[in-house]
């Protein structure tokens, strides 16, 4: 791609808190702290910046798409002293403030593309919306302000899994009216490094996938069958994973930077390499969508990897 004279290469202020998101129409979005939002219809073309009312105090952490027109921006956002999230119903042209609770940093949001959304964060609450994020209700969260709510995934309207700090992992079958504590990888003997972010037993990612639970606890990704909790690490360490909401295929990136698809025979999970070659840089964020894996890497390039295709382009933003 030849850079246009009136474009510039995107620079990240930090390697954390940058959210890569794929909208249902296939457009690619990057949410950065302090309300900086960029998108493109095609990774081979120039990106555009989205301007919205920056009358906020705090940090934006992620953008979550609910349908082709509706999205939420979350993090720790305050407007006139109230905690809010930003919501658009016209694909980012206009944004409105939706209050939900004071002093809550939202860490994770899950949308099923059917109008239902779950989120949670530093308050430990689990919030649920049945109307695309317009209104919210608290569910019976098993977490609190001491443990937070760090990661959530719902396999359908009723069933899902959520993880927190302090080695806490719970599953629900009734949309968090009730929940059951699950044994964790740490409970079953896995130990982790001594980096400060690993010392509180937190979960960074959780998912339900084809009869399995997947969980990233303290930087180690493990899997177990749902009907018999027996956590196992993969033969080669996974750095991260993402489940495609369209095809239900699961993709990841290994420690040796190989893009892989996770394939299950019902009892075990193995890796199938895709894209024909390792990545040239470490992934900061990945998202699977429509049988392809999208990667924002540390060089601020966007990659798209599918079965036998590999595309990598710098993120050039129109001035």
Q: Distance between CA atoms of 119 and 99, rounded to whole angstroms?
A: 14
> What are 165-216's pLDDT values in tens digits?
999 999 999 999 999 999 999 999 887 666 656 678 999 999 999 999 999 9
In terms of residues, how long is the chain? 319
Domain count, the chain: 1
pLDDT in tens, 25-49: 999 999 988 788 999 999 999 999 9
- Does any domain span residue 284? no
Inside any domain, residue 289: no
Asked if residue 209 is part of any domain, the answer here is yes
Task: Name the residue range of residue 88's domain.
Answer: 7-228+309-318
pTM of the predicted model as reported, rounded to 2 decimal places? 0.93
Find the CATH number of the domain harbouring 99: 2.130.10.10
């Amino acid at each position: 791609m030849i850079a246009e004279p009136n474009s510039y290469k995107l620079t990240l202020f930090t390697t954390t808190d940058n959210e890569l998101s794929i909208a249902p129409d296939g457009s690619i979005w990057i949410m950065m702290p302090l309300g900086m939002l960029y998108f493109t219809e095609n990774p081979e073309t120039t990106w555009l910046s989205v301007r919205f009312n920056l009358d906020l105090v705090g940090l934006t952490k992620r953008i979550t798409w609910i349908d082709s027109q509706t999205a939420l921006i979350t993090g720790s956002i305050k407007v006139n002293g109230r905690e809010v999230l930003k919501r658009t119903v016209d694909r980012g042209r206009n944004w409105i403030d939706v209050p939900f609770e004071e002093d809550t940093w939202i860490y994770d949001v899950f949308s099923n593309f059917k109008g239902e959304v779950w989120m949670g964060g530093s308050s430990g609450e689990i919030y649920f919306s049945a109307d695309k994020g317009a209104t919210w209700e608290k569910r019976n969260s098993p977490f609190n302000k001491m443990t937070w709510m760090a990661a959530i995934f719902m396999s359908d309207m009723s069933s899902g899994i959520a993880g927190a700090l302090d080695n806490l992992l719970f599953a629900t079958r009734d949309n968090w009216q009730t929940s059951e504590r699950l044994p964790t990888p740490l409970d079953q003997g896995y130990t982790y490094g001594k980096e400060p972010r690993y010392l509180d037993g937190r979960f960074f990612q959780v998912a339900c996938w084809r009869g399995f639970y997947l969980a990233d606890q303290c930087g180690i990704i493990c899997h177990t069958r749902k009907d018999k909790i027996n956590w196992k690490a993969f033969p080669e360490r996974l750095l991260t994973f993402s489940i495609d909401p369209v095809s239900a295929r699961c993709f990841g990136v290994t420690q040796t930077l190989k893009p892989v698809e996770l394939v299950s025979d019902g009892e075990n999970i193995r890796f199938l390499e895709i894209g024909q070659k390792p990545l040239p840089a470490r992934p900061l964020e990945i998202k699977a969508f429509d049988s392809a894996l999208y990667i924002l890497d540390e060089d601020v390039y966007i990659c798209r990897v599918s079965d036998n295709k590999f595309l990598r382009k710098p993120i050039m933003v129109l001035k």
